[in-house]
Chains A and B, each alone.
Chain A
């Protein structure tokens, strides 16, 4: 527990350090979420077009 509290206490520079790690987290997670969402919707479109083609033939 003390280790964890020590970790969170970055002294006078805490705001700069946690803002940097926060920015890294937001950029990484946002890129993954956007990519996964786009992947899902594109996959659905491919499946829909395939089904459409099957029905037509």
Chain B
């Protein structure tokens, strides 16, 4: 893992992955949107609003996945002081915040016609809102502190403390009586979702994952360049 602590090596690897992730992203979005609008049926209960699920579910999954990644890299950064750990956490946060905002917005857009309300303070919705604020707090720490070392430590501690929210989000629908329905089983032998609805959902999950990978690598390269600028400026001042 320390092999990639070298920025030049990381940039070379990222440049190799990026065309593939970009290609997968474009193809999966194209195919996923085609399936969503042309090749999947209405739901017998939800009607056309089921199409909101094809972006709501992947964005909710990615919002939690991105936070888990920040928490893991924060732990690695604190324990092993791997330089790319802080960079990847910082790069990941705005993308994760975007996914969380999208999960909240699409959930509201689905909730109004189905539940009769845009918002209710139930455990799932509230814990996802807390996740959004955790992202904002994490990004605010990076913005507020000029010293990279201090910022990465403070942000990592917040990320690790906030990680307790992830199992709360996941199991809130089982632990408490919520308006939000329990998770549907998608990966079992007898899934709750028919194949005609599984296909667009899987295609969109792949598209969202490829989008995440692509933007994450771009943002990590950006952070590497920012560190380079800071190092060059420090070197110039000490001369």
A38 touches B49 (CB 8 A): no
Which residues on B sit within 8 Å (CB–CB) of A52? Answer: 236
B52 touches A17 (CB 8 A): yes
Question: Within the complex, what minimum Cβ distance (angstroms) separates A45 from chain B?
Answer: 5
CA distance A17 to B225 in the complex (A): 39
> What is the predominant secondary structure among interface residues of chain B facing chain A?
helix
Which residues on B sit within 8 Å (CB–CB) of A49? Answer: 229, 232-233, 236
Number of interface residues of A (CB under 8 A): 30
In the complex, B162 has a CB within 8 A of chain A = no
Give the contacts of B91-149 with A (CB-CB under 8 A): 94-95, 98, 101-102, 105-106, 109-110, 112-113
B219 touches A35 (CB 8 A): yes
In the complex, B90 has a CB within 8 A of chain A = no
CA distance A39 to B211 in the complex (A): 17
A23 touches B222 (CB 8 A): no
B225 touches A16 (CB 8 A): no
Give the contacts of B192-239 with A (CB-CB under 8 A): 211, 215, 218-219, 221-222, 225-226, 228-229, 232-233, 236
B113 touches A23 (CB 8 A): no
Interface centre among A10, A14, A35, A38 (most CB of B within 10 A): A35
| A39 in complex: contacting residue of B48, B110, B225, CB < 8 Å | B225
Closest 9 CB pairs of A and B: A42-B225, A16-B109, A20-B106, A10-B48, A20-B109, A7-B37, A49-B232, A27-B98, A20-B52
> Which residues does B use to contact A, with CB under 8 Å?
37-38, 47-49, 51-52, 55-56, 59, 94-95, 98, 101-102, 105-106, 109-110, 112-113, 211, 215, 218-219, 221-222, 225-226, 228-229, 232-233, 236
